[in-house]
Structure 1
Amino acid sequence: MQLRFGLTLALSAFSLAGCSSMGISNGSLDYKNTTTLEPVKYPEGSMVRPATPLYPAPTIDPLAIEHAPKLENKHGNRFVLPRPDKAQSNSAADAQQDSTNIGRPQLVRDGNQNPLLKIDGNSATIWQYTLATLSSLNHSIVGQSKNRYEVTIKIDQQIYVLRLTSVGTSNNLAVFNADNSFADQEKAAELLTQIYQNWPA
């Protein structure tokens, strides 16, 4: 009874541990031991179509094989991909770099000919640049939204709302009236041109 229980326990442990942890080969590295086969030979006098390989095997330099990455486990008998730790750190660095890369503003117009300032890059950084530009233009800021990129400014006794909207990495800066309608096109174009000309980046 104890022998049967011990055998069952050992088999259970082996099956739970799996073959990969035991270092048992699964044939995933057999491709390294392949040999070149001779072309197919037909009996003399037989009529056959010429056999041209669809995907001919490339000729690989032995030096390239010698310096190829070792994609195998520590026992050298199973194919294993490297862990993505290094790739994650690179992607984090790229994301940080993307957050500081800001495109040059472009004056554009929408379908209704309302002027917009199109800027590619990180929205938070663009908004900081926008506020800095407004500060340098000495426009009085009446209020600023805490939930979105929106600031209320007063120009020539008129209240305008400057709003940044984003789609992906593309951002549009537009000028609105206090009632959320688009501001007068000439006034909006004048303000956006001032921002464009004094953009810090």
Structure 2
Amino acid sequence: MQLRVVVVLGLVSMSLLGCSRLAMDNSSLDYKSAKTVPPLKVPESLQMRPQHALYPAPEVDPRALEQAPNFSNKKGNRFDLPRPEPVAEATATSTGTAPSRPQLVQDGNGIPLLKVDGGANQVWEYVTAAVSASNFETEAGETPNVTQIRYQDQNYQLRLTPSGASNTLGVYNTDNNFADRDVASEILALIFQNWPA
């Protein structure tokens, strides 16, 4: 009885292992030999409106296919997604250079923002210095790159939002909505004027 259980479990485990390791062609590379087919011809009597391909397949030069990267596994029978290359440490963190000079900008809705290029941590240090030089009462929150300030007897939040190598500083009400445009413009203008040289 035990021998049967061992044999069955062994066969099951080998078949599962075989599915992934010893697999035959699973048709995942069929895209390489795909042929172009003509578009479907609909008789004019059945057409209610003119037919146009929404996503027409592009014509691919055979020479381009020869030079295309090969995404097959070592055996050449299955598609194998390439592993991402490790990010170099110098690009993953800020490079140690000072952030750019800020720019007063507006988004598509006319909301005033302060745009600064550079690493988010360094830009935030400059923002903190500019806020301190502007004599705002501040209260640091637990969230990184967010601080609460008091301006004209109202509480506002300054929030830095990184996007690639660029960062935007926005002024928000305590309910997480953008502050009034005039007030936000005044606060950001003060920060801009007191930006460290």
TM-score, normalising length from structure 1? 0.51
- The reply on whether 1:108 has 2:105 as its aligned counterpart is yes
Distance (whole Å) between structure 1 residues aligned to residue 172 and residue 129 of structure 2:
20
Classify 1:117/1:139 alpha carbon distance in 2 versus 1 (closer, same or farther; 3 Å): same
Amino acid at match of 1:177: N
Shift, 1:97, TM fit:
7.0
What SS does the aligned partner of 1:100 have? coil
- Alpha-carbon distance in structure 2 between the residues aligned to 1:188 and 1:98: 30
> Where does structure 1 lack aligned partners over 5 or more consecutive residues?
1-90
Q: Structure 1 vs Structure 2: percent identity of aligned residues?
A: 45
Tell me if the contact between 1:99 and 1:121 (Cα under 8 Å) persists in the aligned partners: no
Aligned residues of 2:173 and 2:179 also touching (Cα < 8 A): yes
Q: CA deviation at 1:131?
A: 0.8
Pair 97,169 (structure 1): closer, same or farther in 2 beyond 3 Å: closer
Query: Contact 2:156 / 2:171 at 8 angstroms: preserved in 1?
Result: yes
Aligned pair 1:153/2:123, yes or no? Answer: no
Once the two structures are superposed, residues 130-159 of structure 1 have per-residue CA deviations (whole angstroms, 9 ceiling, x without a partner) of 111111111101x22233210011111111
Larger Rg: 1
Residue 100 of structure 1: how far off its partner (Å) = 2.6
Q: Distance in 2 between matches of 1:118 and 1:145?
A: 22
- Superposed structure 1 runs of 4+ greater than 6 Å apart: 93-97
What are the equivalent positions in structure 2 for 1:18-29 lying under 5 Å apart? none
The 5 Å alignment of 1:121-200 reads 121-141=118-138, 143-200=139-196
Alignment correspondent of 1:30: none
- Please state how far the C-alpha of 1:96 moved relative to its aligned partner: 7.2
Q: Which residue of 1 aligns with 2:114?
A: 117
Partner amino acid, structure 2, of 1:183: A
In 2: Cα distance, 1:127 partner to 1:97 partner: 12
- Aligned 8 A contact 2:115 2:166 in 1: yes
Aligned residues: 110
